[in-house]
Structure 1
Amino acid sequence: MLYAQTPASEKRRLFRERLASGELLRLPGAFNPLSARLIERKGFEGVYVSGAVLSADLGLPDIGLTTLTEVAARGQQIAAMTELPALIDADTGFGEPMNVARTVQAIEDAGLAGLHIEDQVNPKRCGHLDGKAVVDEATALKRVRAAVEARRDPNLLVMARTDVRSVDGLDAAIDRARALVDAGADAIFPEAMRSLEEFAAMRAAIDVPMLANMTEFGKSELFGVEQLRDVGVNIVIWPVSLLRLAMGAAERGLDELLAEGRLSGRLGEMQHRADLYDLIDYAGYGRFDQNVFDFDIPGR
């Protein structure tokens, strides 16, 4: 009932423990707290909170328009609704090193298990668009050092994302990743890698966990979990997939409303009322207060 029972500190500890085991952790992107609960119900190992999804949810493009307050608040809502660890996209840290430090502490207070800070120039843009620009190495390293120094829980995962691959090539991205690890990054997110061979080359160059971003319609081929496991990937995210599926279904439903005036032909595609009530634990609230849940749910 209500929120997750596992304390944030314990989620972080367990997340670190599983990463240290070498297994590949699957983190679909949650576009709201309810979808995070569904991700947990289906048996995944964690939840991802995408900056692109958060921006889109507000009707905004992913170009650095969201604020720390908005990101931390949405992250807190999602993390509170699942026993799983949640990893959040913190963009460029929302400013200079002192801002990065504040970002880390706000994210920590919000109950997230980890965050990633990227090396794009602010304002940033989606990692799979052309025309990106990255900061110089010294600036990137200052962001990571500030993040690591600011955290109070040593189990909070500070991941460094590098967008250098699309700007200066793979060799430069590997050099940047090594420097970010030396600066204290707990894990590396090499954005927009083009092949399994590139992931393998990055894996050989660093000795910390590595994340693969399997976003649709981007620059990376959509590799399967087994393929990524075989080249040493430790975390795989599908950041926008659930939002894309939901919006695609919503658009088709609205089209049918316009064309037919009703949705009776789409009932088989909808989550049943009984399944929704089960997911949000309506019965649990009823056990707490019989006046809340005192009715039968119609059968499917």
Structure 2
Amino acid sequence: MRNDMPSRLRALLASDLPVRTGPAYDGLTTRIACETGFDAVSVGGYAVAASMGYPDVGLVTMTELLSAYRNCTRVSSVPVIGDADTGFGNAVNVMRAVQEFEDNGLAGMQIEDQQFPKQCPFLGSSTLISLDEAVGKIKAAVAARRNPDFVIKARTDATNLEEAIVRGKAYVEAGADVIYGINKCFPDIDAIRHFRQAVGVPIGFSILGWTESLTHEEVDSVGSCVVGWPFALILSVAGGAHENLKQLKEGKKVSDLTAPMMRRETLEGMLNIDDVRETHRLYIPD
């Protein structure tokens, strides 16, 4: 069956409004992102690595990421964008990655221009590969996709706005559909708007650090873009779990825990327990 999620993502990008992507890293968090009404789901390498107990420094393999992405696309009702880090090697590796991402139901992939091993920009400084090598990877990604609607989102980790624009334009010329800039290259909302106008295609940026103060209307003013919250979910889960487990260890009753907990019945409904029961009724004798 043809995966229509890439075309659905492209339709969203054709709008003049931001595509707000819910953060996720597994099947449950994907269901929650869909349930809460996000336009799409973004599965970031930081959260997947953290869910495995690792920092985001290039330790997670393509196979491990794909395993997480399959759990997300299997349950998602909206397009899912996967993080390909640096492409898992050179341009040849990128080509395989694109087709693996397509085969696993993703609507698009993000690839960045850091040297391997990469690291999250918030963990320290990044070293970029040459512009020529980065352009070659984007061209390879475009050439490898079998569905022309599959979205190639090229991220530059340049911290200087003008360098980010130069690289972004080159990636667009190479065939990238979306250009993501890291927050370190944007001093204010005007810089984000300027970046969008300069590269001439939808851009991507994250709501973290100073951008957390942006209003809904200011984000809308950027126009066509992909917006995500890469840290919000994993920090919410880690913070709530740590607090409640600490309180349990200290002797508190479950009813007295202070971090919010979902009702069990609500969770079971989100996991479609009634569908399982109906299948049991139809096909399994009593």
TM class by smaller structure: over 0.9
Does the residue aligned with 1:29 lie in a helix, a strand or coil?
strand
Does the residue aligned with 1:173 lie in a helix, a strand or coil?
helix
Q: Deviations over 1:170-201 (max 9, x none)?
A: 11111110011001101111112331111011
Would you say 1:61 and 2:52 are equivalent positions? no
Match of 1:126 in 2: 120
RMSD (CA atoms): 1.9
Q: Which amino acid aligns with 2:237?
A: A
Q: Which amino acid aligns with 1:252?
A: E
Alignment: residue pair count:
282
Match of 2:278 in 1: 287
Amino-acid identity (%): 33
Equivalent pair of 1:128/1:219 in contact (CA under 8 Å): no
Equivalent pair of 1:87/1:114 in contact (CA under 8 Å): yes
Tell me by how many angstroms 1:147 deviates: 0.5
Q: Which amino acid aligns with 1:63?
A: V
> Which among 26, 38, 41 is matched to residue 44 of structure 1?
38
Flag the 1:185–1:268 CA change in 2: closer, same or farther, 3 A: closer
Equivalent pair of 2:240/2:259 in contact (CA under 8 Å): no
Flag the 1:235–1:8 CA change in 2: closer, same or farther, 3 A: farther
Flag the 1:50–1:157 CA change in 2: closer, same or farther, 3 A: same
Does the residue aligned with 2:59 lie in a helix, a strand or coil?
coil
Match of 2:256 in 1: 265
Match of 1:80 in 2: 74
Tell me by how many angstroms 1:25 deviates: 1.3
Would you say 1:146 and 2:137 are equivalent positions? no
Flag the 1:8–1:35 CA change in 2: closer, same or farther, 3 A: farther
Q: Which amino acid aligns with 1:188?
A: I
5 Å matches for 1:1-300? 9-164=3-158, 166=159, 169-192=160-183, 193-215=186-208, 218=209, 220-266=211-257, 269-290=260-281
Which is further off, 183-192 or 19-28?
A: 19-28
Separation (CA, whole Å) in 2 of partners of 1:78 and 1:194: 33
Tell me by how many angstroms 1:32 deviates: 1.6
Separation (CA, whole Å) in 2 of partners of 1:233 and 1:225: 14
Match of 1:296 in 2: none
Show structure 2 runs of 5+ residues with no match. Answer: none
Tell me by how many angstroms 1:31 deviates: 2.5
**TM-score, structure 2 length as denominator?**
0.93
Q: Deviations over 1:77-128 (max 9, x none)?
A: 1111111100111100000100011111111111000001100111111023
Tell me by how many angstroms 1:67 deviates: 0.7
Equivalent pair of 2:25/2:68 in contact (CA under 8 Å): no
Equivalent pair of 2:142/2:152 in contact (CA under 8 Å): yes
Match of 1:3 in 2: none
Q: Which amino acid aligns with 1:202?
A: F
Tell me by how many angstroms 1:227 deviates: 1.0
Show structure 1 runs of 5+ residues with no match. Answer: 1-6, 294-300
Separation (CA, whole Å) in 1 of partners of 2:191 and 2:212: 12
Match of 1:297 in 2: none
